[in-house]
Amino acid sequence: MPVFHFDVPESDQPIAKTFADLPPGVRTTLTQGYAVLARVQKEQYRDLLNYIVDVMASGGPAPRDAEEIAAKLGMTPEQARRVTSAAGIAVAAMLGRADADVAEQFVRAVEQTGLVHEAEVPPLLAFTKFAFQERSALQRTFDRVQLGSEILPSVTGFRTAVDVRVRFDEHDKIVLSVPIAVIHLHTDTEQELVFQMTQWEVEKMINVLQTALRRLKAAGTGSDRA
């Protein structure tokens, strides 16, 4: 999936400037993303918005591991990544401008650029209006997530696999086997970490993380979520 960056124009400049001179690959990604967005239900908008804000605040592209948000929205991980990229531009425009008709301006610019079909315009307008109405809460969430991501790298992706290690004797017969969890962490920097854990170590980590989660909730982390 291509990685690209957009600068939201200043309030005295047309939003259409955002979509000027799009490379063909980016046009394809956005067109597919807006087609997926048109099928997202209104009751799912908040989940999508919160996910987009997390991605934006991390400073990186949509995480490769998008199974959780994909399951919430009833789509494939690849569709989730594309809708995150496309809808993220709308969210950035809603956060970056205060004019009352910014949602209409954005949708008109997208339509004029040929990135959406006529039938996709009403749902795109509904989503952008919802994002505009929620912009104050979204900005607080964005600031909070960004503050929590400062100084040290933040985890943006987390994958696991189970490997089985075996030992053979001199006759090539298996004499011992042990399952091992392989953990792959992605961060918002170029750093990636791959390591292995035994079942006992996984159980210990789960207990430690559950304790950390209880303490985070007790400290009020996340109380300002949109």
Distance CA 103, CA 125 (A): 7
Which band of pLDDT confidence, cut at 50, 70 and 90, is reported for residue 180? confident
Q: Does position 189 have pLDDT exceeding 60, yes or no?
A: yes
Give how far Cα 222 sits from Cα of 7, 148, 156, 160, 209, Å.
28, 11, 17, 26, 16
Average pLDDT over residues 80-96: 83
Q: What is the pTM of this model?
A: 0.59
46-50, 59-63, 149-153: the lowest-pLDDT one: 59-63
Task: State the DSSP string of the chain.
Answer: -------PPPTTS-GGGGGTT--HHHHHHHHHHHHHHTTS-GGGHHHHHHHHHHHHHHTSPPPS--HHHHHHHTS-HHHHHHHHHHHHHHHHHHHH---TTHHHHHHHHHHHTT-S-GGGHHHHHHHHHHHHHTHHHHHHHHHHHHHHTSSS--EEEEEEEEEEEEEE-TTS-EEEEEEEEEEEEEESSS-EEEEEE-HHHHHHHHHHHHHHHHHHHHTTTTTT--
Give how far Cα 160 sits from Cα of 192, 196, 208, Å.
13, 9, 18
Give residue 90's pLDDT: 84
- Name the percent of the chain lying above pLDDT 70: 75
Average pLDDT over residues 60-71: 67
Give residue 106's pLDDT: 87
Give residue 1's pLDDT: 44
Query: 189 vs 84, which has greater pLDDT?
Result: 84
Average pLDDT over residues 79-106: 82
pLDDT digits (tens, 9 = 90+) for 200-225: 888 888 988 898 888 878 887 555 44
Which band of pLDDT confidence, cut at 50, 70 and 90, is reported for residue 32? very high
Strand partners, 180: 163
Distance CA 167, CA 161 (A): 20
